[in-house]
Amino acid sequence: SAVISQKPSRDICQRGTSLTIQCQVDSQVTMMFWYRQQPGQSLTLIATANQGSEATYESGFVIDKFPISRPNLTFSTLTVSNMSPEDSSIYLCSVEGGSPTEQYFGPGTRLTVT
Amino acid sequence: AQKITQTQPGMFVQEKEAVTLDCTYDTSDPSYGLFWYKQPSSGEMIFLIYQGSYDQQNATEGRYSLNFQKARKSANLVISASQLGDSAMYFCAMREYDNNNDMRFGAGTRLTVKP
């Protein structure tokens, strides 16, 4: 299995500011995913980030709001830009393990926007 | 359209009893995988069990088993001998390997184990 860490684990931010979330994996992985979990809701895929290519965003998510970097096979960042209270959520990084039958999640970043 | 359906927002089970959490899915992709995750109040997503669309036998992992009925497109999670620590949210998810290859989640079921 892959061990995934995320920084920060939680943050409280003011509206209009931006926050960059880091995701670090202990092994090289091709496929990385970013999810959002709004309070009391399920997980929604924001984008898929494969190394060496532009991130692919899901409907309802745009690069200007959620820019993603994937500089190498063990690291990715997600930025939440120009935040509003509606962005208050848990943001989770996820990776495919050694095969498509394995997918693991980081501990999440709890974001509160005031 | 919702591809993963979990119809039970909440379930209760007595400690040491078995419980079944329902999950149905919709796909035209012949190659797909079904996953169950547990999310305790701490928020982490814990992988429980996996079933591939071509797997002939139902998956089992310790106290967890998956009742896979392909024709009915259902993949119910069975937890045997429930423990107080099983109280959590449970999510069913699917990856369609020939279509985007990303994972989609159901709405989840909150399981409460009673002592």
Choice among A57-61, A89-93, B101-105 with the minimum mean pLDDT: B101-105
Percentage of residues of chain A with pLDDT beyond 70: 100
pLDDT per residue over B30-80, tens digit each? 999 999 999 999 899 999 999 999 999 999 999 999 999 999 999 999 999
Residues in chain B whose beta carbon is closer than 8 A to a beta carbon of chain A? 33, 35, 37, 43-45, 47, 50, 52, 91, 93, 95, 97, 100-108
Three-state SS string over A43-100 comes to EEEEEEEECCCCCEECCCCCCCCCCEEEEECCEEEEEECCCCHHHCEEEEEEEECCCC
pLDDT above 70 as % of chain B: 98
pLDDT per residue as tens digits for the range A23-36: 999 999 988 999 99
Of A48, A100, A107, the CB nearest to B44: A107
Q: How many CB pairs under 8 A join A and B?
A: 48
DSSP secondary structure code for residue B115 in this structure? -
